[in-house]
Chains A and B, each alone.
Chain A
Amino acid sequence: EDKVVQSPLSLVVHEGDTVTLNCSYEVTNFRSLLWYKQEKKAPTFLFMLTSSGIEKKSGRLSSILDKKELFSILNITATQTGDSAVYLCAVEEKDSSNTGKLIFGQGTTLQVKP
Protein backbone atom coordinates (compact mmCIF):
# COMPACT_ATOMS: atom_id res chain seq x y z
CA GLU A 1 0.00 0.00 0.00
CA ASP A 2 1.29 3.44 -0.93
CA LYS A 3 2.13 5.59 2.06
CA VAL A 4 3.59 8.92 3.07
CA VAL A 5 4.89 9.39 6.61
CA GLN A 6 5.81 12.70 8.19
CA SER A 7 7.80 13.37 11.32
CA PRO A 8 7.60 14.78 13.83
CA LEU A 9 3.82 14.97 14.17
CA SER A 10 4.12 18.15 16.19
CA LEU A 11 6.80 20.61 17.08
CA VAL A 12 6.99 23.62 19.36
CA VAL A 13 9.83 26.10 18.87
CA HIS A 14 10.63 29.71 19.66
CA GLU A 15 10.93 32.53 17.21
CA GLY A 16 14.31 32.53 15.52
CA ASP A 17 14.80 28.77 15.73
CA THR A 18 15.45 26.62 12.67
CA VAL A 19 13.23 23.61 12.08
CA THR A 20 13.49 20.57 9.83
CA LEU A 21 10.40 18.64 8.87
CA ASN A 22 10.70 15.16 7.42
CA CYS A 23 8.71 13.21 4.89
CA SER A 24 9.36 9.64 3.78
CA TYR A 25 7.36 7.80 1.16
CA GLU A 26 6.70 4.50 -0.51
CA VAL A 27 4.68 5.22 -3.64
CA THR A 28 4.62 3.41 -6.94
CA ASN A 29 4.54 5.54 -10.10
CA PHE A 30 6.10 8.52 -8.35
CA ARG A 31 5.83 11.78 -10.26
CA SER A 32 6.63 14.51 -7.73
CA LEU A 33 6.58 15.46 -4.06
CA LEU A 34 4.83 18.57 -2.86
CA TRP A 35 4.81 20.56 0.35
CA TYR A 36 1.79 22.55 1.46
CA LYS A 37 1.14 24.87 4.40
CA GLN A 38 -2.29 24.61 5.97
CA GLU A 39 -3.29 27.33 8.38
CA LYS A 40 -7.03 27.46 8.81
CA LYS A 41 -8.46 26.39 5.52
CA ALA A 42 -6.90 25.71 2.13
CA PRO A 43 -3.56 23.91 1.87
CA THR A 44 -1.30 26.53 0.29
CA PHE A 45 1.31 25.33 -2.17
CA LEU A 46 4.96 25.76 -1.12
CA PHE A 47 7.19 23.54 -3.25
CA MET A 48 7.07 20.88 -5.91
CA LEU A 49 10.09 18.58 -6.17
CA THR A 50 10.75 16.19 -9.01
CA SER A 51 14.53 15.72 -9.10
CA SER A 52 16.90 14.47 -6.43
CA GLY A 53 19.42 16.77 -4.83
CA ILE A 54 18.14 20.07 -6.20
CA GLU A 55 17.21 22.43 -3.41
CA LYS A 56 14.24 24.70 -3.86
CA LYS A 57 14.17 27.92 -1.87
CA SER A 58 11.61 30.55 -1.13
CA GLY A 59 12.71 33.12 1.43
CA ARG A 60 13.34 31.33 4.71
CA LEU A 61 11.92 28.04 3.45
CA SER A 62 13.81 25.43 1.50
CA SER A 63 13.25 21.84 0.53
CA ILE A 64 15.13 18.98 -1.05
CA LEU A 65 14.25 15.52 -2.33
CA ASP A 66 16.22 12.27 -2.18
CA LYS A 67 14.66 9.79 -4.62
CA LYS A 68 17.11 7.05 -3.73
CA GLU A 69 16.32 7.10 -0.03
CA LEU A 70 12.70 8.11 -0.66
CA PHE A 71 12.45 11.15 1.56
CA SER A 72 12.27 14.90 1.56
CA ILE A 73 12.93 17.60 4.13
CA LEU A 74 11.47 21.05 4.56
CA ASN A 75 13.63 23.56 6.38
CA ILE A 76 12.46 26.79 7.91
CA THR A 77 15.11 29.18 9.21
CA ALA A 78 14.60 32.11 11.58
CA THR A 79 11.06 30.96 12.35
CA GLN A 80 8.34 33.52 12.99
CA THR A 81 4.95 33.17 14.69
CA GLY A 82 3.37 33.40 11.25
CA ASP A 83 5.01 30.09 10.37
CA SER A 84 2.71 28.33 12.83
CA ALA A 85 0.64 25.92 10.75
CA VAL A 86 0.23 22.32 9.70
CA TYR A 87 2.77 21.39 7.03
CA LEU A 88 1.59 18.71 4.64
CA CYS A 89 3.75 16.51 2.49
CA ALA A 90 2.07 14.91 -0.51
CA VAL A 91 3.38 12.58 -3.17
CA GLU A 92 1.89 12.84 -6.61
CA GLU A 93 1.29 9.45 -8.16
CA LYS A 94 0.85 9.19 -11.90
CA ASP A 95 -2.24 7.21 -12.74
CA SER A 96 -3.16 5.23 -15.83
CA SER A 97 -4.76 8.25 -17.48
CA ASN A 98 -1.63 10.36 -16.85
CA THR A 99 -3.32 12.73 -14.45
CA GLY A 100 -1.97 12.78 -10.93
CA LYS A 101 -3.46 12.09 -7.53
CA LEU A 102 -1.90 13.28 -4.29
CA ILE A 103 -1.20 10.91 -1.43
CA PHE A 104 -0.86 12.92 1.75
CA GLY A 105 1.05 12.40 4.95
CA GLN A 106 -0.60 13.07 8.26
CA GLY A 107 1.05 16.49 8.58
CA THR A 108 3.40 18.15 11.04
CA THR A 109 1.87 20.75 13.35
CA LEU A 110 4.36 23.54 13.96
CA GLN A 111 3.82 26.05 16.72
CA VAL A 112 6.23 28.98 16.92
CA LYS A 113 6.16 30.82 20.22
CA PRO A 114 7.17 34.47 20.55
Chain B
Amino acid sequence: EPEVTQTPSHQVTQMGQEVILRCVPISNHLYFYWYRQILGQKVEFLVSFYNNEISEKSEIFDDQFSVERPDGSNFTLKIRSTKLEDSAMYFCASSEGIGEYFLGQPQHFGDGTRLSIL
Protein backbone atom coordinates (compact mmCIF):
# COMPACT_ATOMS: atom_id res chain seq x y z
CA GLU B 1 0.00 0.00 0.00
CA PRO B 2 1.40 3.46 -0.90
CA GLU B 3 2.65 5.45 2.04
CA VAL B 4 4.03 8.82 3.01
CA THR B 5 7.73 8.62 3.83
CA GLN B 6 9.65 11.07 5.99
CA THR B 7 13.36 11.55 6.57
CA PRO B 8 15.19 11.67 8.83
CA SER B 9 13.36 9.76 11.54
CA HIS B 10 15.26 11.68 14.22
CA GLN B 11 17.12 14.98 13.93
CA VAL B 12 19.19 16.53 16.69
CA THR B 13 20.23 20.14 16.14
CA GLN B 14 21.82 22.95 18.11
CA MET B 15 19.61 25.90 18.92
CA GLY B 16 19.89 28.60 16.27
CA GLN B 17 20.65 26.19 13.44
CA GLU B 18 18.47 25.60 10.42
CA VAL B 19 16.83 22.23 9.75
CA ILE B 20 15.10 20.78 6.73
CA LEU B 21 12.60 18.00 7.20
CA ARG B 22 11.81 15.93 4.13
CA CYS B 23 8.67 14.15 3.02
CA VAL B 24 7.71 12.12 -0.02
CA PRO B 25 3.90 12.19 -0.27
CA ILE B 26 1.87 9.43 -1.90
CA SER B 27 2.50 9.76 -5.62
CA ASN B 28 -0.97 10.65 -6.94
CA HIS B 29 -1.80 13.00 -4.06
CA LEU B 30 -2.08 16.72 -4.70
CA TYR B 31 -2.61 18.18 -1.24
CA PHE B 32 0.18 18.26 1.32
CA TYR B 33 0.31 19.15 4.99
CA TRP B 34 2.64 19.55 7.93
CA TYR B 35 1.60 18.98 11.53
CA ARG B 36 3.56 18.88 14.72
CA GLN B 37 3.08 17.20 18.08
CA ILE B 38 4.95 18.48 21.10
CA LEU B 39 5.49 15.71 23.63
CA GLY B 40 2.33 15.14 25.65
CA GLN B 41 0.26 17.59 23.61
CA LYS B 42 -2.21 17.44 20.73
CA VAL B 43 -1.28 17.14 17.10
CA GLU B 44 -1.35 20.69 15.69
CA PHE B 45 -1.81 21.87 12.13
CA LEU B 46 1.02 23.95 10.68
CA VAL B 47 0.41 24.43 6.96
CA SER B 48 -1.39 23.09 3.90
CA PHE B 49 0.02 23.25 0.38
CA TYR B 50 -1.56 22.84 -3.03
CA ASN B 51 -0.54 23.73 -6.56
CA ASN B 52 2.89 24.90 -5.44
CA GLU B 53 1.64 27.40 -2.94
CA ILE B 54 0.52 27.61 0.64
CA SER B 55 -3.23 27.21 1.04
CA GLU B 56 -3.47 27.94 4.73
CA LYS B 57 -1.10 28.31 7.63
CA SER B 58 -1.61 28.40 11.39
CA GLU B 59 -0.40 31.02 13.84
CA ILE B 60 2.51 28.73 14.65
CA PHE B 61 3.74 28.90 11.07
CA ASP B 62 5.51 32.25 11.26
CA ASP B 63 8.47 33.63 9.29
CA GLN B 64 10.73 31.06 10.89
CA PHE B 65 9.05 28.33 8.82
CA SER B 66 8.84 27.72 5.10
CA VAL B 67 7.71 24.89 2.84
CA GLU B 68 8.76 23.93 -0.63
CA ARG B 69 8.12 21.32 -3.25
CA PRO B 70 11.55 21.40 -4.94
CA ASP B 71 10.76 18.64 -7.42
CA GLY B 72 7.90 16.35 -8.39
CA SER B 73 8.22 14.09 -5.38
CA ASN B 74 9.63 15.86 -2.32
CA PHE B 75 7.89 18.22 0.08
CA THR B 76 10.09 19.96 2.63
CA LEU B 77 9.65 21.94 5.82
CA LYS B 78 12.47 24.35 6.68
CA ILE B 79 12.84 25.77 10.16
CA ARG B 80 15.29 28.64 10.48
CA SER B 81 16.99 29.71 13.73
CA THR B 82 15.60 26.80 15.68
CA LYS B 83 14.49 27.33 19.27
CA LEU B 84 14.15 24.91 22.16
CA GLU B 85 10.37 25.04 21.83
CA ASP B 86 10.58 23.74 18.26
CA SER B 87 11.38 20.31 19.69
CA ALA B 88 8.51 18.09 18.62
CA MET B 89 7.45 15.29 16.31
CA TYR B 90 6.74 16.70 12.86
CA PHE B 91 4.28 14.79 10.67
CA CYS B 92 3.79 15.17 6.95
CA ALA B 93 0.45 14.18 5.42
CA SER B 94 -1.05 14.06 1.95
CA SER B 95 -4.47 13.57 0.41
CA GLU B 96 -5.98 13.05 -3.03
CA GLY B 97 -7.76 15.54 -5.18
CA ILE B 98 -8.51 16.10 -8.81
CA GLY B 99 -7.35 19.48 -10.05
CA GLU B 100 -9.13 22.23 -8.19
CA TYR B 101 -11.81 19.99 -6.77
CA PHE B 102 -11.04 18.82 -3.30
CA LEU B 103 -12.69 15.45 -2.97
CA GLY B 104 -12.60 15.34 0.80
CA GLN B 105 -10.33 12.34 0.87
CA PRO B 106 -8.63 11.38 4.13
CA GLN B 107 -5.18 12.64 4.95
CA HIS B 108 -2.53 9.93 5.21
CA PHE B 109 0.38 10.49 7.56
CA GLY B 110 4.05 9.63 7.51
CA ASP B 111 5.91 8.17 10.49
CA GLY B 112 7.18 11.59 11.50
CA THR B 113 10.53 13.22 12.22
CA ARG B 114 11.42 13.65 15.86
CA LEU B 115 13.22 16.99 16.11
CA SER B 116 15.31 17.61 19.21
CA ILE B 117 16.79 21.06 19.74
CA LEU B 118 19.68 21.27 22.20
Contact = CB atoms under 8 A, between A and B. Distances in A.
Main secondary structure of the interface of A (DSSP, over half): strand
Contacts of A97: 48, 50, 55-56
B91 interface: yes
Interface residues of B, number: 29
Interface stretch (A39-47, A64-72, A77-85): A39-47
Nearest to B108: A45
Contacts of A45: 106-109
A42 B48 CA distance: 18
A88 B37 CA distance: 12
Contacts of A104: 42-44
B33 A42 contact: no
B35 interface: yes
B2 to A, nearest CB: 12
B43 A41 contact: no
Interface in A20-71: 31-32, 34, 36, 41-45, 48, 50
Interface string B3-35: 110000000000000000000000000010101
A3 to B, nearest CB: 10
A16 B31 CA distance: 39
